[in-house]
Amino acid sequence: MHCSNFLKGSVFSLALASVVLSSLVAAPARAESSILIDAESGKVLRAENAAYPWYPASTTKLMTLYMTLSAIRDQRVTPDTLFAVSPNAAAQAPTKMGFPVGTQVTIDNAIKMMMVKSANDMAVVLAEGLDGSVDQFTRAMTETAHRLGMTESSFVNPNGLPEYGQVMSARDLAILARTLIREFPESSDYWHIPAIKYGRRIVRNYNPLLGRYPGADGMKTGFVCMSGFNLVATATRDNRQLIAVVLGAPSSSSRSIKAAQLLEAGFLQGLSPLAFLAPKVDAIMPIEATPPDLTDEMCGKHRKRHHSDDEEADAGSDGDAAQNDPEFAAALAALRAPMAKNLALDPPAVTPVVVYTGPTRTSDQIAKLAAEPVADPVRKKAKHKAVAAHATDGKKATTKPKEGKPAADNGGKAVDGKAAHGKTTAKTAGKTATNTLPAASAAAAKPPPEVKANTSAAPAKKPAAANFPQ
């Protein structure tokens, strides 16, 4: 038995070396890239086109998170530091919080909104607040990434909205995820918050592995038409943590299933007797190539898909569709033992972390805000349908020929935009009393912390036209 396991491990290690070598030189047979590594050792357990450059979409926000946590560690700012929403931040494409210009948000809350809702405006708030402008921040992002060994990475924005100069690879994302885990273990809650509550809204994390795959504890999803569906997923079992990166998946369900399959294979394999033959992730050499552009495949005329980042395109206004996706549930149910018995087919109940605008609140204030009633999503959805139906009826009524010209349909577009993006107003909200994230449970009221004004009021860079709403 032991001999058989040893032989299997040997064959696996040799096959792994072959796969890794082939991934260094081969162009993707189809537009997909993935890697699985051990978080402690950095050893590569699986690799497919791992060094191929890719458009990262909102997995970019992991780099913005690293820059922000580094600034806190270097005592340049604290989690309670307030940043203001600039015109540039407010102008970002969805997904976003949609706060008015001048709204103040603590770094702690901005991080939570960025990581759970994938809020593009909050990523810009952090960038401008820390370095004065997006340009300065993204230059620092690129320099820091190269210092960490992420040699294929370059950044032109902090949120991953479509830009041809925004490039990473599965290899680089695995290095980044491992660096976050190793350098900021005390901040790990930031990348596995199951949901946030803002006012009367609850927004679930777009990563459906959280709470459903045993040991899942991170990290970040992403989607733009150029990239396909991306996911950096982490899981810990028996004191062993693995990192899986999937880029270019055809759907949100398939990226989650692929990540779960990679993680499960790694946990079942264990440590091979010849694991020392496997290269470390930073030893994989980068590839000089142009990232594949999946715009036609992901968002062509044959696909009814929203053209902007990020998850609301597939996940609905509050992320519930990511958790209740029938394709994902069916795929989970179809997985064979022993994996199937380890997976929860239904979305778990979650306790959201409350987020809010303005200065840091006391624990009593947070508890009070956490107890506020939540809007009924069924009633909200019915209301949206009724409004949409009314707009449609109005359109039909007003599009009757009048002097040979139909009436313009502006109302329908406004309603659709509101339903698709679920924009919020700048209501005051708070964090839960049980929140264990940095600066989450103040024992007493604090004086208002320093407010850093964002000086950049320049308009946001225009993403590639093929990936942005026309």
State the maximum Cα–Cα separation within the chain, in Å, rounded to a whole number.
87
Q: How far is CA 39 from CA 145, 281, 419, in A?
A: 18, 10, 40
Strand 451-452 relative to strand 82-84: parallel, antiparallel, unpaired? parallel
CB-CB neighbours of 350 under 10 Å: 15
| Sign, CA torsion 62/63/68/70 | positive
Instruction: Render 281-331 in DSSP notation, one character per residue.
Output: GGGSPP---PPP--HHHHHSTTS---SSSSTHHHH-TTSHHHHH-HHHHHH
Q: Supply the DSSP symbol for 93.
A: P
Q: What are phi and psi of 216, to 5 degrees?
A: -60, 130
Confirm if 213 and 237 have CB atoms less than 8 A apart: no
Catalytic residue numbers, as ranges: 58, 61, 118
Contacts of 408 (CB under 8 A, 6+ apart): none
Nearest Cα to 235, choosing from 251, 252, 254, 212? 212
3-state secondary structure labels for all residues of 324-347: HCHHHHHHHHHCCCCCHHHCCCCC
44's enclosing H/E stretch is strand 44-48
Rg of the chain, C-alpha, whole Å: 23
The SS3 of residue 19 is helix
